[in-house]
C-alpha cells in the first residue's frame, strides 16, 4: 500500500498555488515519461507523491516579491524536485534505507546500481532544464547542490559519533536540508525580481525554515507514525544519525541511563528492543520537548525575517508554511 506522505503540510497552499503545482506536476512528467526502464525507475519515487515543498516555496517566494508570469518558474521548480528526488535516492543507498514514502526505497526495489543511475539521470534532467536559465540561477542551484553533497558527506563521516556536538549538527542540517530549501526560495525571489534586501530576507527565511523542517523530521523519527511519514520510527537510531534529540538526551541523562543510550546509539546492530529502549530514554530526557522549543525558536526568527518583505497574502502563506512545518510534529 502506498502511503501518501504528510498531506497536512499542504495547509499553507491555497487553490491558486495548488493550481500552479499541478502545472509543475505536468512539467515533471513531460521530462520523465514512461518511455524506458530508466524512466520507470527514476520516476518510481516521484510518482508516489511527496510533499513538493520546494516547488511550492519557490513559487510563493516568486509571488511574494511581485513575480507575475508563473511560466518563468514552473520548469525550474520541476528541476529542483528532480534534484531533491535524486538526492533522496542516493541518500537511501548511502543509508541502506528500506522504506521511503511508504514504499520500498528505489535501491530496495531495483537494486543499488540501477538506483544510482536513476538518481544521476534525474540530475541530468535537472541540468537540461536549468541550463535554459540565467547564469545567476544556475549558480544558486550549483551552490545548493554543493552544500547538499557536503552535508551528506559530513553526515556520513559522523554516523555513530555520539559526541559530535551541536555545531556539527547545525552544520549538517543547514547543508543537507536547508540548502536546497533556501536555494529554491532564493531562485523564486530572484526570478520575481526581488531587490537585495528582499532577497536577503528570503534567504534567511529559507535557511531557518529548512532547519525547522529537519528538526521536526528528527522529532518524527521518535514520535512519528509510519502511516504519516512513510518511514519507520527509529530509523535515525538504526542508521547512526545523531540528531538534536539524541544530543540533548545524552546531555541530560546521568549514570546507567546515559551509558545505555550511548551504547545503543553507537551500536551497529540493533534489536527492536534496543530501538524501543533508546526511544524510551530520549523521551525520559524530555528531549522531544526540548526539540520542539529549539524548532520554535528557529520558527520565530523565520517569521521575523519575513517582516522585511512587503505585506501581501503570499508573505502570509510563507508564515503559514513555517507554522505548518512546525506543527507537523505535534
Give, for 53, the enclosing helix (H) or strand (E): helix 53-64
- How far the first Cα of the chain sits from its last, in Å, is 25
Per DSSP, 99 falls in state E
Please give the helix or strand (H or E) that residue 100 lies within, else none.
strand 99-100
For Mg ion (CB under 5 A), the number of binding residues is: 2
Binding mask 160-199 for ligand FPP (x = CB under 6 A): ----------------x-----------------------
CA–CA separation, 239 and 237 (whole Å): 5
> Under a CB-based contact definition with an 8 Å cutoff, are residues 178 and 215 in contact?
no
**Partner whose footprint covers residue 50, from ligand FPP, Mg ion, none (CB < 5 to 8 Å by kind):** none
How far is residue 25's CA from residue 18's CA, in Å, rounded to a whole number? 10
| Residue pointed to by grid coordinates 551497529 | 268
Distance, CA of 173 to CA of 127 (rounded, Å) = 25
The smaller minimum CB distance to ligand FPP, of residues 225 and 300, is found at 225
Among 5, 148, 237, 285, binds ligand FPP (CB under 6 A): 148
**The C-alpha cell that represents 95 in the structure block:** 543509508
Handedness of CA 134, 138, 143, 147 (dihedral sign): positive
**Which residue do the cell numbers 549538527 mark?**
169
Shortest Å, Cβ 105 to Mg ion: 9
Size of the site for ligand FPP (CB under 6 A): 16
| Residue closest to Mg ion, measured at CB | 95
Using the rule CB under 6 A, is 241 a contact of ligand FPP? Answer: yes
Binding of ligand FPP at residue 95 (CB under 6 A)?
Answer: yes
CB of 235 to Mg ion, least distance (A): 7
Q: Tell me which stretch binds ligand FPP (CB under 6 A): 83-91, 189-197, 244-252, 322-330.
A: 83-91
Q: Which of 61, 88, 247, 322 binds ligand FPP (CB under 6 A)?
A: 88
Q: Is the Cα torsion angle 2, 89, 123, 8 positive or negative in sign? A: positive
Cell for 151? 552535508
x-marked contacts with Mg ion along 76-115 as a string, rule CB under 5 A:
---------------x---x--------------------
Span near ligand FPP by CB under 6 A; candidates 20-28, 59-67, 87-95, 157-165: 87-95
Q: State phi, psi for 11 to the nearest 5 degrees.
A: -60, -25
Q: Which is nearer to Mg ion, 94 or 266 (CB)?
A: 94
Question: Binding to ligand FPP by residue 81, rule CB under 6 A?
Answer: no
CA atoms within 13 A of residue 235's CA, in its CB half-sphere: 20
77 binds ligand FPP (CB under 6 A): no
Where on the chain is the footprint of ligand FPP (CB under 6 A)? 83, 87-88, 90-91, 95, 97, 145, 148-149, 151-152, 176, 231, 235, 241
**For binding to Mg ion (CB under 5 A), which residues are involved?**
91, 95
Amino acid at each position: 500500500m502506498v502511503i501518501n506522505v504528510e498531506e497536512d503540510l499542504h495547509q499553507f497552499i491555497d487553490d491558486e498555488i495548488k493550481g500552479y503545482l499541478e502545472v509543475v506536476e505536468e512539467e515533471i512528467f513531460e521530462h520523465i515519461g514512461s518511455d524506458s526502464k530508466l524512466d520507470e525507475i527514476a520516476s518510481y519515487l516521484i510518482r508516489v507523491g511527496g510533499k513538493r515543498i520546494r516547488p511550492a516555496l519557490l513559487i510563493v517566494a516568486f509571488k511574494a516579491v511581485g513575480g507575475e508570469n508563473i511560466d518563468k518558474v514552473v520548469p525550474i521548480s520541476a528541476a529542483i524536485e528532480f534534484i531533491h528526488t535524486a538526492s533522496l535516492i542516493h541518500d537511501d543507498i548511502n543509508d541502506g534505507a528500506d522504506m521511503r514514502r511508504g514504499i520500498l526505497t528505489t535501491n530496495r526495489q531495483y537494486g543499488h546500481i540501477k538506483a544510482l543511475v536513476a538518481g544521476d539521470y534525474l540530475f541530468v534532467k535537472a541540468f537540461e532544464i536549468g541550463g535554459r536559465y540565467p547564469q545567476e540561477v544556475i549558480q544558486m542551484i550549483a551552490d545548493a547542490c554543493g552544500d547538499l553533497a557536503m552535508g551528506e558527506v559530513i553526515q556520513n563521516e559522523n554516523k555513530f559519533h555520539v559526541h559530535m556536538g551541536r555545531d556539527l549538527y547545525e552544520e549538517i542540517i543547514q547543508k543537507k536540508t536547508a540548502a536546497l530549501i533556501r536555494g529554491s526560495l532564493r531562485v523564486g525571489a530572484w526570478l520575481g525580481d526581488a531587490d537585495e534586501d528582499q532577497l536577503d530576507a528570503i534567504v534567511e527565511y529559507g535557511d531557518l525554515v529548512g532547519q525547522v523542517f529537519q528538526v521536526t523530521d528528527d522529532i518524527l523519527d521518535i514520535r512519528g507514525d509510519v502511516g504519516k511519514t512513510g518511514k519507520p520510527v527509529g530509523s535515525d537510531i538504526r542508521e547512526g544519525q545523531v540528531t538534536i534529540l539524541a544530543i540533548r538526551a545524552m546531555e541530560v541523562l546521568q549514570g546507567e541511563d546515559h551509558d545505555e543510550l550511548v551504547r545503543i546509539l553507537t551500536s551497529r546492530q540493533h534489536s527492536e528492543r534496543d530501538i524501543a529502549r533508546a526511544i524510551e530514554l530520549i523521551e525520559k530526557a524530555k528531549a522531544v520537548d526540548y526539540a520542539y522549543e529549539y524548532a520554535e525558536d528557529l520558527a520565530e526568527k523565520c517569521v521575523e525575517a519575513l517582516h522585511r518583505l512587503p505585506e501581501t497574502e503570499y508573505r502570509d502563506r510563507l508564515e503559514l508554511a513555517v507554522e505548518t512545518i512546525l506543527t507537523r510534529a505535534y
